[in-house]
Structures are given as structure tokens and as C-alpha cells.
DNA sequence: GCCTCTTTTGAGAGTTACTGTCATTTGACA
DNA sequence: TGTCAAATGACAGTAACTCTCAAAAGAGGC
């Protein structure tokens, strides 16, 4: 159950930044929780693919994952969370804060995102495609992306605030975070809508080129 | 009940573009429907103000408006719609399409929006403040703003598509609509969060200045 | 290995937003 | 006034949550 790398890690094996946080020594309790989360999500995606998001009830998911509905609600507060929550936020935040402080924020985002996405796609491309395709298809999920709590807007805003070393964001920071958040969401959704055929790095590049140019030509 | 301007309209009286569409000769049936809609909304906002959005049930609203719950659902498909639907979209669309075709889209938006908002505030300032304050406070409503169907993004996108005279929007149009939509929402919410103390035209101006400059200085 | 404490889980009852059906009422129109 | 279509209300049902409380399971000291 913890049979990871019995000998030595391949020197150049690309490490999955998300999975990496799971390698830390965990208690039995925490390992079980993690496993349950994964099982629930896997069963949920399977059922969503088979019957559609709206036609799948939480009871069915709980039954498939072999837990009680009560427990399901403890793991995922809402049905949307099954699709919308992930463990990327701290990684993205760290990557953004790693960029040089003087760099324009748009440039920081472009560089950090392209790097992260490339790494991520090597490991979780299929799951990401499944999730994002669901988001494009189910209106409730698309709206949920902008729900308070873990929206991309809030992530960008917290980074902007921290970079500036201030306590409360300015209005300009809010607008910037909102616009970049919506634009990057659009990039990922466009990628998923085409089943990942278009290179997502290209899409992100075009997105930020547009933002930097002040929407020239539109 | 239709006692509007019994003598003659004041020559410079600013006409309310929204109310204007209601002056058309309507059948009794349509007048009643309109009246019911207004009553329901009025009672809903009153209850929301008294007890909060989440603590108010649709049954209470139906009872206060003296209609059955079934009928309430026929007027407003969801609870969010009580707050999020309005009659502004056609007016905004028309104003945007009225701008010169060669004008950069950002400029069109800035000019059209500032004009519309000024006109609107003269008539429905208080109601708009109430609604938008609710949106800032209730996460579900904020998310609902981006639900498919009548989001600002979709409005901008349809205008962009029509202006270009094409059938399907380009990816650049999508990103533009998403970014401007999120930015303008932010402007309105900021205005409401401060109880309308800051001039909304200033906020819109600052918003578009930021977008035009490619987020210079952030 | 056993005991105790804390965390996690499951069972069950309740609330509310929403859906669908069907009979009744109400306005439109000749 | 009579006929038809649209609007309404009553009712039954579903599913996503919420709350409470007791049982089960892992953590840690002995």
C-alpha cells in the first residue's frame, strides 16, 4: 500500500507536484481519508460519464463508493465540489509567488501557468479533461467555478495582495483578478471543449497576448 | 393604474429605458402578469431584507405575494432568478450595437455602459443597490451571475459575434467577453459594496482604463 | 496486548428547492 | 353570452442538503 519507489527514483522522472504532497508520511487515518476521497471521486466520475451529472444522485455515488450518504457529505460539502475541488491551488499560488516581484502580473501568470499546466498534463490529463468537459456541459458547474471560496479570481486576488505587501486589495487588483480569472477559465474550458486537441499552452499564450494588448483588434 | 403623464411629458424628463417598454398597450392579462411579477419581487426583497436570503423560503414569498407556490415557480424558475433577472439585457445589447462598427469594443462598452447606467440610476438606483448588495453577500447569487443563459459574458459575446457578422465566435471573442464581463460585474459589485457612495461612472472608467492599458502597473 | 480518548462513521429524521400532473379559474374574442 | 386558450392552484413526489446522536475505529499511554 506504500510501495512507492522501492529502489531509487529515476533521475529525470517528472514529478507530479500534486501527488508529491501525498508522499509525506501520513497516519493510517489520513491515508484512509485520502483513499476514500479518491474512491468517491472515481466512482462519481464513472457514474457521471454513464448517466450524466444531473441524473446521478448522491445516494448512488455513496453506494458505489461504499460509504453512507452522511459520510459523503463530510467529504464533499456539495455535489459540485465533487467536480470543482482539487489540490492545485496551493501549487499555483506558490508558483505565482515565486516569480520576480517586479515582473508585471500578467507575465507572471503566463509563465507560471504554462509551466504548471505542462507538468500537470503529463500526469492527470485524462482526469482534467473529464472534469473540465463536465464543467462546460453543466451550467451549475460553470457557475460554481465562480462561487466564493476557491474561485480562480480569489486565488489571483490573494496573490496580488500578498505581492503588494498590503492588507486589503485595491479596486484595480480586484478587477485584474476578475478579468484574468475569467480569461484563464475560458482557456481551460476551450481546451476541454475540443477534447484537448488544441495545445493548451497555445491557448494560454493567445489569452495573455490578448489581455496584454488591451484587446487590440477586437 | 396607467396614470402616467396625464397632460404632457416634461420636455427634458429623462425617460426610463426599462419602464418605457412597459408603456406599450397591454392586454389585461399581460398587465396582471406584470403586476404579479412586481409584487413578487417587492415582497421577496422585503423578506430578504428582514430575514436574509437563505432564511426566506419560497413558501413565505408566495404567501406574502398571495399566490400559490406553483405560480411562483412559473414566474421565477429559481430562487436566484428573483434577484438576478431583469429587463436590462435587450437595452444594453441595443446600446452596444448602436456604437460605430469600427470602434474598438472596449471603447464601445465604456461609452454605452456609462450612458445606460446614468439613465438607470435616476430611476432604479435604490432597487439596483438592494439587488447588488444581495449579490455581494450571498455566494450562490454571485455564482449565479455566471450561470449560462443570461450572464454578462454571454451578452458581450453575442454582441461581438453580431458585430463581426459571423456565425460562431472566435476564441479571442470568447476571452474578451469573459474578461470584460467579469470586470464590469466587479465594478457594479464594488459600487454596491460601498452602498453606492463612489460614483459608478468613475468605477467603470477606471475598470476600462485598466483593461485598455493591458493591466499596466499591476 | 489492553484501556482510554478522540476522531470518524452511519442511521435516521427533517427541511427546502424544485418538478410534474391535473382540475379549476380567468381573460380573450367572436 | 358562449367557447377556447392561458393562467392558476392543489397535490404528490424527488433530491440535495442539515442536524443529532450513537456506534465504530484509529491514536497513544501503559
CA distances from residue A12 to A4, A9, A76, A153 in whole angstroms, order as listed: 16, 8, 36, 34
Give the pLDDT of residue A45: 97
Give the pLDDT of residue A5: 33
CB contact under 8 A, A183 and B185: no
- A39: Cβ under 7 Å from strand C? no
Give the pLDDT of residue A40: 98
Chain B touched by A211 (CB under 8 Å): yes
Residues of chain B under the 50 pLDDT cut: 1-22
Measured distance CA(A177)–CA(A172) in Å, rounded = 9
- B25: Cβ under 7 Å from strand C? no
Please give the full DSSP string across B97-157, using - where no structure is assigned: HHS-TTS-HHHHHHHHHHHHHHHHHHHHHHHHHHHHHHHHH-HHHHHHTTSTTS-HHHHHH
| C-alpha distance from A12 to closest chain B C-alpha (Å) | 36
CB contact under 8 A, B106 and A215: yes
Give the pLDDT of residue A133: 95
Report the residue of chain B nearest A159, measured CA to CA: B218
Q: How confident is the model at residue A11 (pLDDT cuts 50, 70, 90)?
A: very low
In the 123-142 segment of chain B, residues within 7 Å (Cβ) of strand C are: none
Mean pLDDT value across residues A143-166: 94
Give the pLDDT of residue B17: 44
Q: How long is the CA A29 to C1' C7 vector, in angstroms?
A: 9
Measured distance CA(A84)–CA(A146) in Å, rounded = 10
Measured distance CA(A126)–CA(A122) in Å, rounded = 9
Measured distance CA(B20)–CA(B38) in Å, rounded = 15
Residue in the block written with cell 405575494: B65
Give the pLDDT of residue B24: 54
Nearest to B174 by CA among A73, A218, A52: A218
Give the pLDDT of residue B217: 86
- B59: Cβ under 7 Å from strand C? yes
DSSP-based three-state secondary structure for B32: helix
Give the pLDDT of residue B164: 94
- Residue B15 main-chain phi, psi, to 5 deg: -85, 140
- B71: Cβ under 7 Å from strand C? no
- A32: Cβ under 7 Å from strand C? yes
Chain A touched by B193 (CB under 8 Å): no
Chain A touched by B176 (CB under 8 Å): yes
CB contact under 8 A, A145 and B148: no
Q: How confident is the model at residue A25 (pLDDT cuts 50, 70, 90)?
A: low
Mean pLDDT value across residues A168-188: 97
| Domains, in order of start, for chain B | 26-84 (1.10.10.60), 88-213 (1.10.357.10)
Q: Is the pLDDT of residue A6 over 60?
A: no
Cell numbers given for A209: 497576448
Mean pLDDT value across residues A103-121: 95
User: Which positions on chain D have an atom < 7 Å from some protein CB?
Assistant: 6-11, 15-20, 26-28
* % of chain A at pLDDT higher than 90: 81
- Those residues whose C-beta lies under 8 Å from the C-beta of residue B3, and which sit 6 or more positions away, are none
Q: Which of B146, B173, B216 sits opposite A218 (nearest CB)?
A: B173
Measured distance CA(A10)–CA(B92) in Å, rounded = 59
Mean pLDDT value across residues A173-182: 98
- A24: Cβ under 7 Å from strand D? no
Tally Cβ neighbours within 10 Å of residue B13.
9
Chain A touched by B162 (CB under 8 Å): no
Amino acid at each position: 500500500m506504500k510501495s512507492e519507489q522501492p529502489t531509487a527514483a529515476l533521475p529525470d522522472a517528472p514529478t507530479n507536484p500534486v501527488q508529491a504532497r501525498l508522499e509525506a508520511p501520513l497516519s493510517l487515518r489520513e491515508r484512509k481519508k485520502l483513499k476514500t476521497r479518491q474512491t468517491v471521486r472515481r466512482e462519481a466520475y464513472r457514474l457521471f460519464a454513464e448517466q450524466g451529472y444531473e441524473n446521478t444522485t448522491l445516494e448512488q455515488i455513496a453506494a458505489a463508493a461504499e460509504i453512507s450518504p452522511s459520510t459523503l457529505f463530510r467529504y464533499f460539502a456539495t455535489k459540485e465540489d465533487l467536480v470543482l475541488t482539487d489540490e492545485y491551488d496551493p501549487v499555483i499560488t506558490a508558483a505565482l509567488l515565486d516569480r520576480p516581484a517586479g515582473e508585471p502580473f500578467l507575465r507572471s501568470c503566463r509563465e507560471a501557468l504554462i509551466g504548471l499546466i505542462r507538468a500537470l498534463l503529463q500526469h492527470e490529463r485524462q482526469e482534467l479533461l473529464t472534469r473540465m468537459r463536465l464543467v462546460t456541459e453543466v451550467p451549475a458547474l460553470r457557475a460554481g467555478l465562480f462561487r466564493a471560496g476557491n474561485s480562480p479570481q480569489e486565488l489571483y486576488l490573494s496573490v496580488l495582495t500578498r505581492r503588494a505587501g498590503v492588507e486589503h486589495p485595491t479596486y484595480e487588483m480586484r478587477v485584474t483578478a476578475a478579468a484574468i480569472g475569467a480569461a484563464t477559465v475560458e482557456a481551460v474550458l476551450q481546451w476541454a471543449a475540443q477534447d484537448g486537441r488544441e495545445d493548451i499552452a497555445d491557448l494560454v499564450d493567445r489569452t495573455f497576448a490578448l489581455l496584454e494588448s488591451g484587446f487590440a483588434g477586437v
